[in-house]
């Protein structure tokens, strides 16, 4: 059981009411298991990025990098060969973890063989701690179902072969996603990012051993099914994310966000779980640290 989880459970048993989700200097600094930092900087500018990096640098220094206390940011790849530029920009910050993956869009699927070769090169980097995001998107449907499934299946196999956690994008593609990841969680951690289904689908992913990561859409209207899925997710399988610059929680839905906006999502998640923010954030943070900071091939998802 990860360090920090026992403390989270103790806080749960005490049934403390949620506190205000603000930290040092009014900033809320919690781990974000899924962000796109280059896109955040492109949308909001260098000033917003420097404020973000400064806040996390301060929180990291104060925590001395201890698991459960140290906030991390997972900067997630989506395009062929995009790792090097991201490492060059953000690699000096000890709290940033990097992944590399191919989102199921035209950029990768027009030349899938070439895209996979470039991904394999990125996976050789010691800075790459996970494969993803990859998966299926039947909403935007930038390629056929078969094309998306073949690219996703190849990346699942790569993650297993390299011993890397797998970050999964799944939109309107539950059954196919479940089928393609079913065997992977016994071999590597599998994170269903920005979980967007209901309680029944959550139960089936959890049964297979996946972790579920929730974003700002749990704060949106008409998200009852998603909220029920979060309530049903055990703390040891729970991650929190922004998917920034996307999925900004209320009241800023539709506006570009940063990892600092995760406080409002964590506040809502804590209320849904009947926990203090401290308990919810501590458990999710320990899970993120364990999955994305472990030695390659030796990370795990704690069983429920």
pLDDT at position 70, please?
83
**39-63 average pLDDT score:** 95
* Backbone angles phi and psi of 33, in degrees to 5: -80, 0
107 DSSP 8-state letter: H
> What confidence tens digit (pLDDT) does each residue in 205-223 have?
999 999 999 999 999 999 9
Whether the predicted pLDDT of 226 surpasses 60: yes
Mean pLDDT of 197-204: 98
> Do 223 and 202 contact (CB within 8 A), yes or no?
no
Give the closest residue to 178 by CA, choosing from 202, 142, 161, 162.
202
Average pLDDT for the chain = 89
- Domain edges within the chain: 5-76+209-293
pTM, two decimal places: 0.88
Q: Cβ neighbours of residue 78 under 8 Å, at least 6 residues apart? A: 36, 101, 102, 103, 133
Mean pLDDT, residues 97-114: 96
Q: Is 3's pLDDT higher than 80?
A: no
């Amino acid at each position: 059981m990860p360090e920090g989880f026992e403390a989270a459970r103790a806080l749960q048993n005490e049934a403390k009411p949620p506190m205000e989700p603000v930290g040092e200097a009014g900033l809320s600094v919690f781990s974000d298991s899924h962000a796109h930092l280059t896109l955040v900087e492109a949308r909001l500018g260098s000033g917003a990025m420097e404020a973000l990096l400064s806040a996390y640098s301060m929180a990291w220094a104060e925590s001395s990098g201890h698991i459960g206390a140290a906030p991390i940011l997972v900067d997630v790849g989506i395009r062929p060969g995009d790792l090097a530029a991201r490492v060059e920009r953000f690699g000096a910050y000890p709290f940033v973890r990097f992944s590399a993956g191919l989102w199921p869009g035209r950029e990768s699927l027009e030349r899938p063989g070439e895209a996979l070769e470039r991904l394999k090169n990125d996976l050789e980097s010691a800075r790459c701690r996970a494969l993803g995001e990859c998966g299926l998107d039947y909403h935007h449907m930038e390629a056929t179902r078969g094309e998306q499934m073949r690219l996703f299946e190849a990346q699942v196999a790569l993650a297993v072969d390299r011993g890397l956690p797998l970050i999964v994008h799944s939109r309107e593609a539950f059954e196919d996603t479940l089928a393609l990841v079913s065997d992977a969680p016994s071999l590597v951690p599998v994170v269903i990012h920005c979980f967007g289904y209901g309680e029944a689908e959550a139960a089936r992913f959890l049964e297979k051993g996946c972790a579920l990561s929730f974003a700002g859409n749990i704060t949106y209207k008409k998200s009852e099914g998603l909220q029920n899925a979060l309530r049903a997710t055990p703390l040891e399988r729970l991650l929190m994310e922004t998917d920034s610059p996307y999925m900004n929680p209320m009241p800023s839905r539709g506006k570009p966000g940063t990892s600092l906006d995760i406080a409002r999502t964590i506040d809502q998640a804590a209320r849904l779980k009947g926990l203090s923010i401290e308990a919810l954030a501590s458990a999710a943070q320990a899970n993120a640290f364990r999955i994305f900071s472990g030695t390659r091939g030796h990370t795990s998802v704690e069983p429920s």
